[in-house]
Amino acid sequence: MLTLIEKILFVVAVLVSLYFTWQGVQRIIRIIGRGRGKPDWSLAWKRLWDVIIKVGTFQPVFRFRLGPSLLHALIGWGFLYFILVNLAEFLNGYIPGFRFAENAGLIGNLYRLMADIFGAGVIIGILGMVIRRFIVRPPTLTTRESTTFDTRARTGIRRDSAIVATFVLVHVSARLMGESMYLAAEGMADAWQPIASTVAGLMSGMSRTGLEIGQHVSFWFSLGAIVAFLPYFPYSKHIHLFFSPINYLLKPERKSIGQLSFVNFEDESIEQFGATNLEHLGWEQLMDSYACIMCMRCQEVCPAYNTGKVLSPAALEINKRYYLNHKEGTEFANGEESKPLLEFAISEEAVWACTACGACIDICPVGNEPMRDILDIRRSLVLMENDFPKQLENAFRGMERNVNPWSVPPTERMKWAEGLDVPTIEKNPEPEILWWVGCAPATDARAQKTAQAFARILNASGLNYAVLGQNEQCTGDSARRAGNEYLFFELASANVELLNEVKPPRIVTTCPHCLHTIKNEYPDFGGNYEIIHHTQLINELVGAGKIQMEVTDADLKVTFHDPCYLGRHNDIIDAPREDLKHAGLVTIEMPRNGKQSFCCGAGGAQMWKEEEHGTTNVNRARFAEAKATGASTLAVGCPFCMTMLNDASNADGGEVKVRDVAEIVADRLK
């Protein structure tokens, strides 16, 4: 138990610590409050149970890097339990003769056992993390010199990690020593505290007075470490403990990780489009910088970073954090305008290197969305400054004049169907399903083969379907992800008006980008439709017995490339594989598949511009992965992926054939 003077000093220290901690907390509240929009607190209640499960199991962490994830979980689980342990230690120090849960039967025994085990787990976990960061130093914990990374961040991460690790070690180790000294002073071994009892056995030669003094010292080092650390907490990476659950609780609802925020251009009060400065980002995007744990996982899965580009999504979030942590952050919290994001958070080259694949959002264990920041910056560059890669001009002009980025006149939109019986909506005004063909299958020579194959499948099935023909135009996906939100707004508004007139029961498309846009982004325009991917419809037709296939080359080995906007953005993973299985093919998986698939390099409007400088091209990196499986055919389910991977195959000699799932199925129709 503490002496009276110790009790007074500790209370004073706690009050002083809380005062300075509250100053830091208020600063963060003001900073986040400067972001656009307001949290919807009703979401917290709907998500509470899911968040409790996520926090309790550390499930998002375990999706990647098993070893470090386990070390992190040991620390996290221990800290969650130490909320109770620290309360118990405080009561033990202040109440005479009181020992928390010592005489509470089985519950008390279990409490002491778990405190013993979790305390040891924290020590093991933090030592493992220290060894990894400061001794092993894997390249995945840093970022290349070529990336935009604040100098303060490069030095600050290691300093911050050292401070946090020291605090954790001192806090938990001191508590273990204090408990061990208590057991040694009482001359007892506690079977429910095997680790503390073992340490106590090493102190058997110490005097009772020395052990009692040691307990006082341990109390001050254990709980005193918390008191000393708290004012630093709002500025440390450790604050993710608080903000990562809030991120999951309050992040605005999205129909998909790729759904972008709606901008109503009919609202004349809007003066800023996209994000030039920090204050133009959403409140949740500012909070992302505090939720970031600086684990660099987003960077590790980023196709741009992996192919030597200057983009690092991790650097973007970390740069935001260090900017806000210093003098500029205080000025920003007090209402001053921030520096432009391109001056401290990310370079313009990095902004245009993003493929909008969503891998950074999908893998982040705390729910951050760096891709959203990048696309907001693009909006600002295009709409506020008319600043974008010159190669995009042709795509923009094509969408503006001929409603497709290839700039093919609408009158030629049905040329691909010549010789095939493909009914238009005028000829068949009440189809069971409307086929949204898409710009690429309608206008691009290679993608037209996919459309022709799918038409043969639909005709063989006897399904009642129709296409929009010359009335169909681009969904606007490329415009939106290139930052030309106004062009997207015009295209989307016109498409929704047309579709609402047609009122299709269902829509099918061969393009994941069309699927994503119509399914997830058109609802903001008043367009709510049931839409599926052509691989899903093929699977339905096989299951219903409406099409049958002959297995002509059962030994053909194929690997399937998951398009980002099919698998990661819309969770359609099984259907294309089942189609290939029905066709009798042997499927070999690439190491990165499903939601962890590697991008083809065309997304984020990269299809229409030169790839930013790097060590290799994204499509070549992905094709090399496919070729390494030994498969003779690379199957795809997206016209953009078809173009990119076919180009990579041709550059490699063309031994591995790149084909759409529909082409493979159509060749095997009975």
For residues 277 and 370, membership in a common domain is answered with yes
Within a domain: residue 259? no
pTM, entire model: 0.94
Within a domain: residue 95? yes
The number of beta carbons lying within 10 Å of the beta carbon of residue 97 is 6
Q: What is the pLDDT of residue 110?
A: 94
Q: Which of 100-114, 233-247, 454-468, 588-602 has the lowest mean pLDDT?
A: 100-114
For residues 9 and 78, membership in a common domain is answered with no
For residues 289 and 199, membership in a common domain is answered with no
User: Of 59 and 375, which is predicted with more confidence?
Assistant: 375
Mean pLDDT score of the chain, rounded to an integer?
94
- Structure token digits, residue 548: 């049958």
Q: Are 454 and 534 in contact (CB under 8 A)?
A: yes
Give the count of domains, the chain.
4
Q: What is the pLDDT of residue 142?
A: 86
Q: What is the pLDDT of residues 487-511, one digit of tens each?
A: 999 999 999 999 999 999 999 999 9
Domain boundary pick from 359, 387, 415: 387
Q: What is the pLDDT of residue 156?
A: 87
Q: What is the pLDDT of residue 670?
A: 85
| Alpha-helical segments (H) within 34-65 | 42-57
Within a domain: residue 256? no
Position 141 confidence tier, pLDDT thresholds 50, 70, 90: confident
Q: What is the pLDDT of residue 663?
A: 97
Domain boundary pick from 387, 409, 427: 387
Q: Are 259 and 4 in contact (CB under 8 A)?
A: no
Domain boundary pick from 357, 387, 417: 387
Q: Are 370 and 285 in contact (CB under 8 A)?
A: no
For residues 510 and 378, membership in a common domain is answered with no
Q: What is the pLDDT of residue 553?
A: 65
For residues 14 and 57, membership in a common domain is answered with no
In the numeric block, the tokens 């002496």 are attached to: 3
Q: What's the CATH number where 570 sits? A: 3.40.50.10700
Please give the residue range of the domain that contains residue 441.
Answer: 392-458+465-472+481-536
Within a domain: residue 255? no
Across the range 463-485, mean pLDDT stands at: 97
For residues 19 and 53, membership in a common domain is answered with no
For residues 382 and 397, membership in a common domain is answered with no
Q: What is the pLDDT of residues 533-571, one digit of tens each?
A: 999 999 999 999 999 998 776 668 999 999 999 999 999
Q: What is the pLDDT of residue 240?
A: 93
Q: What's the CATH number where 310 sits? A: 1.10.1060.10
Across the range 413-439, mean pLDDT stands at: 96
Q: What is the pLDDT of residue 554?
A: 60
For residues 7 and 28, membership in a common domain is answered with yes
For residues 59 and 13, membership in a common domain is answered with no
Within a domain: residue 253? no
Within a domain: residue 260? no
Within a domain: residue 297? yes
The Cα–Cα gap between 219 and 233 comes to 20
Across the range 155-168, mean pLDDT stands at: 92
In the numeric block, the tokens 């498309």 are attached to: 509
For residues 61 and 195, membership in a common domain is answered with yes
Please write down the HEC assignment for all residues of 235-276: HCHHHHHHHHHHHHHHCCCCCCCCCCCCCCCCCCCCCCCCCC
Within a domain: residue 493? yes
The Cα–Cα gap between 413 and 439 comes to 8
For residues 549 and 531, membership in a common domain is answered with no
Q: What is the pLDDT of residues 629-642, one digit of tens each?
A: 999 999 999 999 99
**What amino acid occupies position 260?**
L
For residues 173 and 214, membership in a common domain is answered with yes
Q: What is the pLDDT of residue 555?
A: 66
Q: What is the pLDDT of residue 532?
A: 98
The Cα–Cα gap between 317 and 312 comes to 9
Q: What is the pLDDT of residue 525?
A: 97
